[in-house]
Amino acid sequence: MKIKICGITTLQDALTAIEAGADMLGFNFYPQSPRYIPPASCASILRLLGDFKRLVTGVGVFVNSTVQEMTAILDETGLELAQLSGDEMVETVEALGGRGFKAMRLASNSGSNTKVVTQASVKLIQEYAGSRKGEAPAFLLDSLVRGAYGGTGVVADWEQAASLADQYPFLLAGGLTPGNIGEAVTQVKPWGVDVASGVESIPGRKDEAKVRQFIHNARMAEQRMNDSR
């Protein structure tokens, strides 16, 4: 299982995440985010990581940027992937040629005791996952908060997520914390997990103890699942 620590803004936070066992680091290029980092600062952090950079995959988080803007920043910083967290079309993901994946925030139809992913959402999932041509992650699954583009701390619908995890290798996000990550991994069994606000001391700055505890608890849950098979 992959673990992504998102919203990295300092070299120390990047080193903490890597030393704790993160597989992916996320850098947010959306200017309105409290976790925004200028591309030049991101590039500097990645250079200073030296050999540590080889241990992780770097992900740039974008909101409604053009393909040209995203490609230029990926090239400037050396990040491997772009996470499209806005209202981007499938064609935008495809135009990145395997370098991009979509963040999905899906609504539900509520029945008596269960929630069902809407047919429109199912179609969107299929389209965006198809644009990745089998590459993981197929997408990132976040909680739906109107007017927000992620990082809200609101827990996603794990019941829906679990049904999707049988079909797609996606990153589970949305309100994950050291306290609930074990349950999330056990219930959903995702390809990977993503956390930003859940391991922060203040927006944009990571809490070292929370980062380490989050990764430890995620790995323990993963191990328990493997042992039970």
Helix ranges (H only) for the chain are 11-20, 39-49, 67-77, 90-95, 119-130, 158-165, 181-188, 208-228
Judge whether 166 counts as a catalytic residue: no
Judge whether 6 counts as a catalytic residue: yes
- Could you count the other beta carbons within 10 Å of the beta carbon of residue 58? 21
Burial pattern 90-113, b for ≥16 Cβ within 10 A else e, equals eebbbbbeebbbbbbbbeeeeeee
Q: What tokens appear for 154 in the block? A: 């609101």
Which residue among the candidates 13, 142, 157, 194 is catalytic per the annotation? 142
Q: What residues are labeled active site? A: 6, 142
